[in-house]
């Protein structure tokens, strides 16, 4: 499968442009209007374009085109494959749930929106903002938390601006979908954030770092700078419930991972025990040994996921477009 770069500002700009001017499959109504106006979503790192036409939804997700029909739902709008009950797309406001062949993807967020539960913060001075159920919680060291309602001030294709009234004056929060590294730990986050108050602006990062890891299968390109043995494939999937799985080269593996404010850790690895060619087995052992020593995750300029080990080694990988993981 051809790998694709993870979502960054440039990729999202292309997705926004496509969603604003095209329809999946290029269908046009009489007079030149689009039959299926598109909406863009991100399900972790998975890009999804959804076109809605009456009681039908057509999704372009990774390397798959899914044609779904609306079915009854307790809330929102749910679309399901008429031939496969395990494939559905359930929209609820700016959020959606995607399931393909019985597998659930991470929470999908419409372009220009934020996840249902969102937090952001910055350093020097330290501050933190959390959003949940139309309430904004503002925290500063040594002070009582302030919980106030917020209003949507503006929404752009790649972000939004919120406004709220704190006890000591108004505050605005601008959120943009752009890779952001914490100024103290270097931990990557999916959103850049600016908090404006008292005539000044404070910069920070927001969102769950797991959003940058989940939703796609990462295909390993190199281990410690050394390319992969010909005709072999090593992959990594960061799944829900902090589980990790993939192909080590010959065998399948599984385990757990933990994202903290300081970095990424992988543990409890186990694998199948199939016989392998000696050179493939040697690669597999290097890969598994490196995974067990991972201490951080980041992304380089060309969009690769770079996992760094405690000894300074690296695993470099790109996301695949395939939904068959």
Are the beta carbons of 4 and 323 closer than 8 angstroms? no
Per-residue pLDDT, averaged over 65-93, amounts to 97
Does 31 have pLDDT greater than 50? no
pLDDT band, very low/low/confident/very high, at 244 (cuts 50, 70, 90): very high
pLDDT, position 197: 93
Does 57 have pLDDT greater than 80? yes
Find the largest Cα–Cα distance for the chain: 68
pLDDT band, very low/low/confident/very high, at 216 (cuts 50, 70, 90): very high
Instruction: Give the percent of the chain with pLDDT over 70.
Output: 88
Instruction: Give the percent of the chain with pLDDT over 90.
Output: 83
Per-residue pLDDT, averaged over 281-301, amounts to 96
Are the beta carbons of 303 and 216 closer than 8 angstroms? no
Per-residue pLDDT, averaged over 105-125, amounts to 95
pLDDT band, very low/low/confident/very high, at 261 (cuts 50, 70, 90): confident
Does 313 have pLDDT greater than 70? yes
Does 259 have pLDDT greater than 50? yes
Sign, Cα dihedral of 31, 36, 39, 44: negative
For the segment(s) 211-319, the CATH number from 3.40.140.10, 3.40.50.1100, 2.40.128.270, 3.40.640.10 is: 2.40.128.270
pLDDT band, very low/low/confident/very high, at 37 (cuts 50, 70, 90): low
Query: From CA 325, how far away is CA 316, in angstroms rounded?
Result: 18
- What's the predicted TM-score (pTM) here? 0.88
pLDDT, position 303: 87
Per-residue pLDDT, averaged over 132-137, amounts to 94
Query: From CA 87, how far away is CA 254, in angstroms rounded?
Result: 24
Q: Which helix (H) or strand (E) holds 9?
A: helix 9-21
Are the beta carbons of 3 and 219 closer than 8 angstroms? yes
Topology classification of domain 9-110: Lipocalin (2.40.128)
pLDDT band, very low/low/confident/very high, at 12 (cuts 50, 70, 90): low
Beta-strand runs (E) in 44-158: 46-53, 56-61, 64-71, 77-81, 84-92, 95-100, 103-104, 108-110, 118-122, 127-132, 135-139, 146-156
pLDDT, position 16: 53
Phi, psi dihedrals of residue 240, rounded to the nearest 5°: -65, 165
pLDDT, position 30: 38
For the stretch 292-306, pLDDT in tens is 999 999 999 888 999
pLDDT band, very low/low/confident/very high, at 32 (cuts 50, 70, 90): very low
Does 151 have pLDDT greater than 90? yes
Structure tokens at 159: 């972000």
CB environment 114-130: b (16+ within 10 A), e (fewer): bbeebbbbbeeeebbbb
Does 9 have pLDDT greater than 60? no
Least confident of 32-36, 92-96, 223-227, 317-321: 32-36
Angle, CA 324 vertex, CA 117 and CA 309 arms, to 5°: 65
Work out the mean pLDDT of the chain and round it to a whole number: 90
């Amino acid at each position: 499968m051809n790998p694709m770069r993870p979502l960054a500002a440039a990729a999202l700009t292309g997705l926004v442009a496509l969603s604003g001017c095209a329809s999946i499959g290029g269908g046009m109504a009489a007079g030149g209007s689009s039959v299926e106006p598109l909406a863009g979503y991100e399900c972790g790192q998975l890009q999804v374009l959804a076109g809605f036409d009456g009681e039908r939804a057509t999704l372009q997700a990774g390397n798959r085109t899914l044609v779904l029909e609306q079915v009854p739902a307790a809330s929102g709008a749910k679309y399901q494959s008429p031939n496969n009950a395990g494939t559905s797309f359930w929209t609820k406001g700016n959020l959606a749930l995607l399931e393909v062949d019985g597998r659930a993807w991470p929470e999908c967020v419409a372009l220009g929106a934020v996840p249902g539960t969102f937090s952001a913060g910055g350093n020097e001075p330290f501050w933190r903002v959390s959003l949940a159920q139309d309430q904004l919680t503002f925290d500063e060291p040594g002070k009582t938390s302030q919980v106030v309602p917020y209003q949507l001030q503006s929404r752009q294709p790649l972000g939004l601006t919120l406004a709220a009234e704190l006890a000591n004056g108004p505050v605005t929060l601008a959120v943009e979908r752009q890779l952001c590294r914490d100024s103290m730990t270097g931990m990557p986050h999916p959103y850049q954030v600016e908090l404006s108050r008292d005539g000044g602006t404070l910069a920070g990062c927001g969102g769950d770092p797991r959003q940058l890891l989940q939703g796609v299968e990462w295909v390993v390109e190199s281990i410690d700078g050394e390319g992969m043995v010909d005709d072999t494939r090593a992959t990594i999937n960061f799944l829900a419930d902090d589980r990790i799985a993939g192909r080590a080269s010959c065998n399948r593996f599984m385990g757990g991972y933990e994202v903290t404010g300081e970095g990424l850790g992988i543990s409890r690895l186990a694998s199948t025990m199939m016989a392998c060619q000696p050179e493939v087995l040697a690669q597999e052992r290097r890969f598994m040994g490196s995974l067990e020593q991972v201490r951080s995750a980041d992304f380089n300029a060309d969009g690769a996921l770079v996992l760094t080990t405690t000894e300074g080694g690296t695993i470099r990988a790109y996301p695949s477009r395939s939904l068959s993981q």
